[in-house]
Chain A
Amino acid sequence: MSWIQSFVKQAGLPRIIIGLFLLSLFVAAPFVGVSVTTSINDVLVRFGMNAVMVLAMVPMVQSGCGLNFGLPLGIIAGLLGATLSLEIGVVGLWGFVVAILLSLPFSVIFGYFYGQLLNRVKGDEMVIATYVGFSSVAFMNILWLVLPYRNPTMVWGFSGEGLRTTISVEGYWLNALNNFLSFPLGTHIKVPTGMFIFFAFMCFLMWAFFHTKTGTAMTAVGSNSEFARASGVNVDRSRTQSVILSTVLGGIGILVYQQSFGFLQLYNGPFYMAFPAVASILLGGASVHKATLLNVIIGTILFQGIVTMTPSVINSAIQTDMSEVIRIIATNGMILYALTRKSVVKS
């Protein structure tokens, strides 16, 4: 009995419930005519697609800036990198690398100003961040139309200017990471090795960063900013660094997502991208001011598992489209749960 109790305490009740729910979906799948192997393939791919964006939550949480609801800002930097890469016309893995490199100056600059703003609203970061995300999307809606892109695969066919709402990356760097070293497992599963290696590399960089002097200072700032200040740490600078880091990872995250998804989604595409990432890391057991790499991995698997399985299994079972409803309940419910827990954890 006691080991069960300690396991429940360690893993946390929400994770166990969601985990069991996911397991039951897999068990039920064959009975409603859904292939388990295909589902597993979907979960693996979707995990790889989203994991880096979930990882982008970690620096800001650790520095006490809360969850990065302003992730769309990073995503926009990533989209700028992606469209510029397409405009130049580099193909294959190099096209992907060029997209990342081109997104970096944007995400660093955006992150810097975003960080400056968050330093002025200490205590209300998450509310402000949400609106930074929303308004930056609206602002970019104008820019996507007027920026002088010329690549015919990207601009509206009839006018020859203004970017389309969705742009295919086929022929450029579709599946650039997915196909790298990928191997089949049975008939229906194709492991996206490149994406996993890339995510592991990002995790390693993150792990290493938090083992440096600067990373240690960032964690201390999040844990007790007064302590950090009394220890000679420049709190504002440390927070800005974390915001830049989150924004950069958001940009890289959306590129990983798009090379697998196959399309760039501009205009209102980034609008709600922050919420699944926020829900994932919370589901993984992170709180508003502490997050680990393990939270990222577990949370992404659980969340993407639910999102993948509910449409196929539940739709087949009850013959109506309940999937979207369940997904929304899971996403927003998880955010709600974790945010209300904040005050308890603090004391």
Chain B
Amino acid sequence: MGTEKSKDKIEKNVLLRCEHVGKSFFENRVLNDISFELREGEILGLVGENGAGKSTLMKILFGMSVIAQTGGYEGSVYVGEKPVKFNSPFEALEEGIGMVHQEFSLIPGFTATENILLNREITHYNFLVEAFGERLSTLNMPEMIERGGKALNTLGVDISPKMLIAEMPIGHKQFTEIAREIDRQNTKVIILDEPTAVLTETEAEILLSSLRKLAQKGIGIIFISHRLQEILEVADRIIVLRDGILVKEVEASEADVVKIAEWMVGRKMDTSVFEDKLEDKNAEVLLEVKNLWVDMPGETVRNVSFEVYKGEVLGIGGLAGQGKIGIPNGIMGLFPAGGTVKFRNTDVPLNNPRKVLNLGMAFVSEDRRGVGLLLEETLDWNISFTAMQVKEWYVKKYLGGLIKWRDDAAIKQLTSEYIKTFDIKCQGGHQLAQELSGGNQQKICLAKAFALKPELLFVSEPTRGIDVGAKKLVLDTIRRSNREFGMTVVMTSSELEELRSVCDRIMIVDEGKVAGILPATAPSTEFGLLMLGTSETHRREREIQNGKVKTK
């Protein structure tokens, strides 16, 4: 199909057009001046890193209510030649735009057919209709099943239209969702947000070929995926988003995986890549973790053992939900944990945040607003509180320590020092933490941890949700405190490139276990293999399971 796909594009009608679309969530800009067109029968691949703005863009196109609730968007969207501004997904459906979500929006207790035809059921007349209206007409099940089956057949999958959603393997649910969008009579555009993420390879193949079939019928498709190979295979054109900006629009035939990856990542990290990597094999072990398990919902750690050397920056990477976030949270005592942890050869009591802090460790949580900050209190309090409680600094003692009076003057001085060194944009230490932007809030969290003068600092997702400039400053600060002040750092991040630039060694966590530890200088493909290593076997297991379900 690759030969004919780029032909005759110019004459075909434009189905959907975006002009200068932009969006910011409060002070955080996520999309900036996006313009593109989608033509009849075209498959448009949309790629970008996590947080590049792909999902936000799709939410705008589909009229999701979060957009309107957070102040709407800039620019304009046209369906055909008609300018539209959707306030709810219903209006988008009306205009022929369908969306398949990352999370399933199916009713588990209904069959495939009932889900596909939900609210568009084929009905019989009965006498109750006269009295109570259309809502009481009887369902014409045989016809509905036939139509549901037809929609599923279009996709080329073998799913019984009578099967309950709850009994389906995850891939079949995805197909059912797509079938629902196809069945709509007026569907012109289908948006698929990472539809293949949950599919096995064979299922993904089926899906891709069915997308091509749909495109031949004249439907326009926007296809979002992290799997670049798929995008190249199926898409006619590819647009690349990076930090909310459309950086590249290109014909699929002119792109390859390496080029796309370059466009996606860009050069934004170059400025803070630290070349000097520590390779001292004889360094003293500062922290020793053995058989650690952590019961953190969504980030379960099953069995992790590793060592942190004095003076290094250790990165912890891995895919979301594999347990990398659980490791620092467990060691710091925030979630139930077990195993042995030794700090400077003394046993660290688990499940006791106070003891861990007393030993000289500090933690910058990934949950900035939930755990990291006192949103309704002043910056003074936010920065000094932990040091005051744990170390009894910034406290004046009277009556032989009976009265421990908060030393507001010393706190003020401390805050203004950190505001200066971290370049925190605020009106002063008396401002409330909730009034600051995400990046500045993150700096407050770092300041809070630094105020403890820890020997070992855990930093979780330090750059999540903050803009590029703040990212660089935060990473620079972490790196400088390590190299200049000898603070040992364990940094957790979902962004591999960020870890590679800052860390000396990187540990990859997969399914709650350590998949491997590599020096940061190792090629990124090796890290990629580690991340996917065990999940490949996992996928095979799942495929076997799926087979079982089919034979039932």
Contacts and interface: CB of A to CB of B under 8 A. Distances in A.
Contacts of A223: 374-377
Interface in A175-226: 211-217, 219-220, 223-224, 226
A345 to B, nearest CB: 9
Q: Which of B332, B358, B374 has the most CB of A within 10 A?
A: B374
Contact of B403 (A212, A231, A233): A212
Interface residues on B, range: 20 to 34
B405 A232 contact: no
Interface stretch (B1-9, B156-164, B383-391, B516-524): B383-391
Interface residues on A, range: 20 to 34
A231 B389 contact: yes
Interface string A255-269: 000000000000000
A231 to B, nearest CB: 4
B381 A216 contact: yes
Given A211-B406, A212-B406, A213-B404, A232 B374 contact: no
A213 B388 contact: yes
Nearest to A230: B371
B363 interface: yes
Interface in B302-338: 332, 334
A322 to B, nearest CB: 40
A223 B378 CA distance: 11
B373 interface: yes
B219 to A, nearest CB: 40
B469 to A, nearest CB: 26
A220 B381 contact: yes
Contact of A232 (B353, B375, B376, B381): B353
Nearest to A231: B386
B372 interface: yes
A231 B406 contact: no
Interface in A281-297: 290
A217 B384 CA distance: 12
Given A219-B377, A223-B374, A227-B374, A232 B406 contact: no
B474 interface: no
B390 A232 contact: yes
A155 B68 CA distance: 69
A214 B371 contact: no
A213 B392 contact: yes
B353 A230 contact: yes
B289 interface: no
A204 to B, nearest CB: 13
Given A213-B404, A227-B374, A220 B334 contact: no
A213 B411 CA distance: 13
A3 B65 CA distance: 36
A314 B332 CA distance: 62
B365 interface: yes
Given A213-B388, A229-B334, A220 B406 contact: no
A217 B371 contact: no
Contacts of A226: 367, 370-371
Q: Which of A212, A215, A220, A230 has the most CB of B within 10 A?
A: A230
Contacts of A234: 354
B365 A230 contact: yes
A55 B518 CA distance: 60
B386 A213 contact: no
B404 A232 contact: no
A217 B386 CA distance: 9
Q: Which of A214, A229, A231 has the most CB of B within 10 A?
A: A231
Given A216-B389, A227-B385, 14 more contacts: A213-B405, A214-B404, A216-B381, A219-B377, A220-B385, A223-B374, A224-B373, A224-B374, A229-B334, A230-B332, A230-B334, A230-B371, A230-B386, A231-B386
Interface of A: 211-217, 219-220, 223-224, 226-227, 229-234, 290
15 contacts: A211-B406, A213-B395, A213-B404, A215-B406, A216-B385, A220-B381, A224-B374, A224-B376, A227-B385, A230-B334, A230-B353, A230-B371, A232-B353, A232-B354, A232-B389
